[in-house]
Amino acid sequence: MARTPMALLSAADQERARGLRLMKGIALGALIALAVVFVIAFSLQGRFPWLAYVRAAAEGGMVGALADWFAVTALFRRPLGLPIPHTAIIPTRKNEIGRTLGEFVETNFLSGDVIRARLSATPIAARLGEWLRTPEHAERVASEAATIIANVLEALSDEDVQDVITDLAREHLIVPEWGPPLGGWLERLVATGAHHQAVDLAADSIGTWLESNRDAFAGLLSRRLPSWVPSMVHNLIDEAAYHEAVKFTAAVRADPEHRARLAIDTYLERLADNLQHDPETIGRFEDAKTTVFDSPRVRELAADAWTTAKNGLVTALHDEDSGLRRRGAAALAEIGDRLVTDETVQRRVDGWVTDAAVFLVERYRHDIASVITDTVERWDAAETSEKIELMVGRDLQYIRLNGTIVGSLAGLLIFTVAHAIFGA
């Protein structure tokens, strides 16, 4: 199996590779050392009988080292390249390992009960609030949010947005009939007398205007008289018109039952009824509405309003000293402070976060776990084996060392017991 060049590995993987090579060297050195000891002891045990114990320990150590070398190597590749059954386990069973790992994570970690228990024991809102009420953190969040929003706004096509606004306006404003709902609203308004205040305001405004604009009546009627009528008559007619207007307005203001008020009530009642039940009135109203909304000028105003609002918002979002950015950071800091001090808000936010997390996990747990399965399936078999070996291979080399030590002790113990029982 070809190894990935060191230069192509990440810094962490390079460090793991160096540690793995070191431990492999130590394990191999222990095996070679035992082999040397075995040869020496085996050749001299006739002259020095006590070397038989050393030979037995070295022999057992070599057996243990070779057995564990075979076991560790068989996980990642075929020992000595031989097609021995049940070797190269990770490369040959990569997909099955990925599925098993995904199922393990899904069953034991992506469980609603596990997530709820873990989050319920964590003061999420309090920790978030403690972090957020620090001015630097609030400014950072506000800055990141402003950047994201500004980028989204700049990426939007003005024409697309205008088309969406037009479609929404047509769907929710133009297509539905306004007449009957507006007539019903006007009927309730008249029935409760809520419009009387508007009439009072109009009468007061007209009275105030008349008091301040007496000159506006000069020639209002007299200019329509024949030229042979004396100018004195002109003045009398204009003065009479002014005083009648003032008197009429004052009467309307003073008398809640004035005939003008009653006429307004009657007109509004009739209009409310017609808007609800008269097809001709409803049709004229709907035609007028459609004409207004379909007017090119209205479309231009809507487009200009969107462009102006967008440009102003983007400018404010990019400006670190803008009032919008400052108010956003201040609002975030205030939210953080409340999350720390208000236990009711803490419980509410913790509950929202927990419920949302449990919902997402329970609904998408299989999709989340499938990321592991799909990722492992896409890996090359050799690459997968190398990745896993880099992660755990160094620790597995300790198994070889332990096997060497345990084998030596076992060989020595077995030889000693056998020698004690059966003799030389």
148-200 residue pLDDT tens: 998 888 888 878 877 777 777 777 767 778 888 888 988 898 888 888 888 88
- Whether the predicted model's global pTM rises above the 0.85 cut: no
pLDDT of residue 110: 84
pLDDT of residue 38: 92
Query: How are the residues of the chain apportioned to helix, strand and coil, as percentages rounded to the nearest 5?
Result: 85, 0, 15
Residue 396 and residue 72 in contact, taking contact as beta carbons nearer than 8 Å: yes
Strand intervals (E) in 305-406:
none
Burial class (CB in 10 A: 0-12, 13-18, 19+), 109: middle
pLDDT of residue 224: 65
Low-confidence stretches of the chain (pLDDT beneath 70): 1-9, 173, 219-235, 298, 423-424
Q: How is residue 178 annotated by DSSP?
A: -
pLDDT of residue 263: 92
- Tell me which residue of 404, 397, 419, 418 sits closest to 57, measured CA to CA: 404
**What would the pLDDT profile of 71-103 be if each residue is shown by its tens digit?**
888 888 888 878 888 887 878 888 888 888 888
pLDDT of residue 16: 81
Q: Cα separation of 378 and 407, whole Å?
A: 40
pLDDT of residue 302: 73
The answer for 79, left when phi > 0, alpha when psi is -120 to 50, beta otherwise, is: beta
In this structure, the chain runs to a length of 424
Q: What are the tokens at 78?
A: 């075929």
**CA-derived radius of gyration, the chain:** 46
pLDDT of residue 219: 67
pLDDT of residue 67: 92
What are the Cα distances from residue 80, in Å, to 65, 77, 103, 359, 394?
A: 15, 9, 33, 51, 20
